[in-house]
Every structure is written in C-alpha cells, then in structure tokens.
Amino acid sequence: MTKQILILPGDGIGKEVTASAMKILNYLIEKYHLDFITIEREVGGASYELHGKPLTEETLEIAKQSDAILFGAVGGPQWDSLDWDVRPEQALLGLRKTLGLFANLRPAFLFNELASASPLKNHIIENLDILIVRELTGGVYFGEPRGLVEDVTPKYAFNTMVYNEDEIRRIARVAFEAAMTRGKKLCSVDKANVLEVSKFWRGIVAEMGLEYPEVMLSHQLADNTAMQLVLNPNQYDVIVSSNLFGDILSDIAATLSGSIGMLPSASLNSSGQGMYEPCHGSAPDIAGQGVANPLAMISSLAMALEYSLDRKDLAVKIELAIKNFIGLGHRTKDITTSEGFIKTNDVAPLLIKLLENE
Ligand code: NAD
C-alpha cells in the first residue's frame, strides 16, 4: 500500500532542516524502491503570508489522509504581534487536535562524544538514552471548566486537571509497549501525594502493569523526577506522564543532551498516524545562515519510518549513520567549539555516503 507523507517545512530553520531530511528520504525512496508519495505545503508564518492563515483547510485535509507528517518548525518575530488565532503556532495545535495526536514521544539521548556539550558532568550523562512519553491532548491544558473571573474581589483564574480512565490507559499502553522494545523499565510520573487526578492515574497505570509483568514499573512524584533527571538520568528507560508534567520533564531531558538540534519527537494517534518534528523551534537567530543542525529533523524522519511507515529497518540505518557521523568527528556549529564545522546542507550528503556503506 502506498504511504503518503505530508511535508510541512514551516518557517526559519524549519525549511533548512526539512530540506536536509528530504535529501535522505528521497535517497531511501530511490534506493529501496519505496512506495511512498510526498506532498509539500506551507505551514505557520509561511502559510499565513500566502493564505492569511497558518494552516489551510486543504493542508489539514491532506494531513488527515497522510500516514506521516514531517513538520519543520514555525514562528518568528515578524508574526509575534498577530492575533492569537492566526499565529504560526496555531498550526501545530490545529494538527494535533484534528488528528487526535495524544501520544508525544520524546527520546533524549547522548552520543558520548558530545558529553562535554551537556551541562552535566560526563560521568553522570554518558550513555543517556531515555524516552519520555507525554500525554498531549488532555489534562490541565484542555480541561473544562477554565477561566478568569474578574467581577469579584479578589479576582481569580482557574483551570481543571482532568483525565478519564480511557485517556490514561491509551497513553500508558503506548509507554508499556515502548518499554517492551527498550530496557523494559517504566517510570510513571504524577503528584499522587496532592492531586486526586494523579492518584487515579497511578491506580490505573499500576493495574495495567499486571498486563506487562516483564516491565519493571515504578511511580515517582514529578518534583522528584525533575531532580532525579539532573542527578542521575541514567536510572530511567521510559517515563510516562500527563501533559503538564511531561511538558516540563521533556524540556529538562532535552537540555541534558547538549543541543536541542539533536532531538526528534513523534506525536501519534491511535491509528498509528503520526506527526514528526524536531524538538526545537524556527531559531530566527540563526535562520538563513546555513548553520542549523538538521540531525533532529533527520532523526524525526527515522521515527516516522519506525512508527508510521512500517520501515523500522530503515530507521535503524539512519540512526546508525548518525552515530557514525558523530563518531567520525563531523560537527555542526551547535555541537562544537571549533571554527571548522559542517554547514546544514553538507550534513545529508555525508550521511548518504554512510548509508551507502551500511
Ligand atoms: P528555538 O528552539 O527556535 O531556539 C532556541 C535556541 O536554540 C536558539 O539559540 C537557536 O539558535 C538554537 N537552535 C534551535 N534549533 C537549532 C538547530 N537545529 N541547530 C542549531 N541551533 C539550534 O526556540 P525559541 O528561540 O524560543 O523560538 C523561536 C521561534 O520558534 C518562536 O517563534 C517560537 O514560537 C517558535 N517555536 C516553534 C516550535 C515548533 O514549531 N514546534 C517550537 C518551539 C518554538
């Protein structure tokens, strides 16, 4: 069956890193005669300039029909003063909501050669390889009622943290399954000491643990996890958490590995459809200079091959090529202090040479 991939480069370095990932994808399509079709559209600020909105209905329709979406990054200072509903970031929210992308997978890993780029000491950070599974479409970010009450004294604002059992089960299932393919350890993060919703979350995850006797399940309070991620990150294999805690923890984990330019992410729905994007934004400070690191975007392509395009074998090849690339001493500007660094456009050709030798 033909697989359809929607390419949404977006703004700033989103366009630059997506161009690199496309070189790799086109190479793989040709070499392995893959039955893939790719469709490219503008998104974010680029779409606003063309169509007056960050995400058109046509693009959303194509997204619904696609197996995977490769998303670069959106945003930039020129669009910061736009009304909320046409700001570039709305494109992301629109895609997540329409496609029901409830599971956000954010690996955080470190190539030991890059340990000195991490803010942590080498012996703490070496061999880092964590997967954070964050619930993305529920919890306090979306819970109702919510609001601001200004006609009383004192004024107040409120949000609702709510999860139903189905929402907890489906995200926990993704995390347990991921743990089964990795180190078979799962840490569920909550605040069960103070929140009813967390106590409920913990109970359901514990109950599901019985279905996965091979997975060593633990529960941890979110504040402790934030501390442990910095003190001893290698104690973790897979972490699962709600939207709010996952937001915070995944950014801590991303910082550990030195450069945000290295880390991919996937957002999946229950039919295996997924959106794949680097963890970074459009980086207006370096856009147009040709110095962005495209490895996060290329790793996101690898995740798309694994989770939505049924070609885990090719995902493994890309990951190995990236490992060898780093092992050979190739460095983009963000991961070196030396003057001799590789520019964005030169990364994919070097990776393709490595892929040819695999
Ligand atoms: P950012 O991730 O764009 O940049 C943070 C810092 O990291 C910058 O110094 C940047 O130069 C550097 N950086 C990021 N990616 C890099 C790469 N691949 N190679 C080398 N260096 C890299 O975050 P920001 O500066 O807070 O936001 C810039 C814009 O991006 C804003 O408009 C923001 O709203 C948007 N944004 C979009 C997304 C998204 O599209 N998913 C995510 C975050 C931020």
pLDDT of 296 reads: 97
pLDDT of 54 reads: 98
Fold of 1-102+269-358: Isopropylmalate Dehydrogenase (3.40.718)
pLDDT of 337 reads: 82
pLDDT of 340 reads: 87
Q: Is residue 293 in contact with ligand 1, taking CB distance under 6 Å?
A: yes
- Choose one of 20, 69, 260, 299 to mutate for the ligand 1 pocket test, by most ligand atoms within 8 angstroms of C-beta: 260
Active site residue 163: no
Q: Is residue 251 in contact with ligand 1, taking CB distance under 6 Å?
A: no
**List of E strands, the chain:** 3-10, 36-40, 68-73, 103-109, 129-135, 147-149, 156-158, 185-190, 216-221, 238-241, 264-268, 274-278
For the stretch 98-144, pLDDT in tens is: 999 999 999 999 999 998 888 889 999 999 999 999 999 999 999 99
Q: Is residue 260 in contact with ligand 1, taking CB distance under 6 Å?
A: yes
Asked if domains 1-102+269-358 and 109-259 share a fold, the reply is yes
Q: 72 φ, ψ to 5°?
A: -75, -95
pLDDT of 104 reads: 97
Calpha distance 15→260 (Å, rounded) = 17
Q: Is residue 82 in contact with ligand 1, taking CB distance under 6 Å?
A: no
Active site residue 223: yes
Q: Is residue 282 in contact with ligand 1, taking CB distance under 6 Å?
A: yes
Active site residue 48: no
Q: How many CB atoms lie within 10 A of CB 158?
A: 10
CB within 8 Å of 133: residues ≥ 6 apart: 103, 104, 105, 171, 174, 175, 178, 238, 239, 240, 241, 246
Active site residue 247: yes
Query: Burial of 338 by CB count in 10 Å (0-12 exposed, 13-18 middle, 19+ buried)?
Result: exposed
Nearest CA to 326 out of 339, 316, 341 is that of 341
Residues of the chain with pLDDT under 70: none
Q: Is residue 74 in contact with ligand 1, taking CB distance under 6 Å?
A: yes
Q: What is the pTM of this model?
A: 0.93
Q: Compute the half-sphere exposure of residue 27: CA atoms within 13 Å on the CB side of its CA.
A: 20
Segments making up each domain of the chain, as ranges: 1-102+269-358, 109-259
Q: Closest ligand 1 atom, CA of 280?
A: 2
Phi-psi region of 224 (alpha: psi -120 to 50; beta: other; left: phi over 0): alpha
Question: How many whole angstroms from 128 Cα to the centroid of ligand 1?
Answer: 23
Catalytic entry in 27, 53, 129, 141 = 141
pLDDT of 125 reads: 92
Q: Closest ligand 1 atom, CA of 80?
A: 32
> Helix H segments across 6-140?
13-31, 45-51, 57-65, 89-99, 122-125
Answer whether 54's CB lies under 8 Å from 91's CB.
Answer: yes
Question: How many whole angstroms from 132 Cα to the centroid of ligand 1?
Answer: 20
Answer whether 200's CB lies under 8 Å from 234's CB.
Answer: no
Active site residue 80: no
Q: Closest ligand 1 atom, CA of 297?
A: 18
Rg (CA), the chain: 20
Cis bond upstream, residue 154 (ω within 30): yes
Catalytic entry in 31, 32, 64, 223 = 223
Superfamily the domain 109-259 falls into:
Isopropylmalate Dehydrogenase (3.40.718.10)
pLDDT of 117 reads: 82
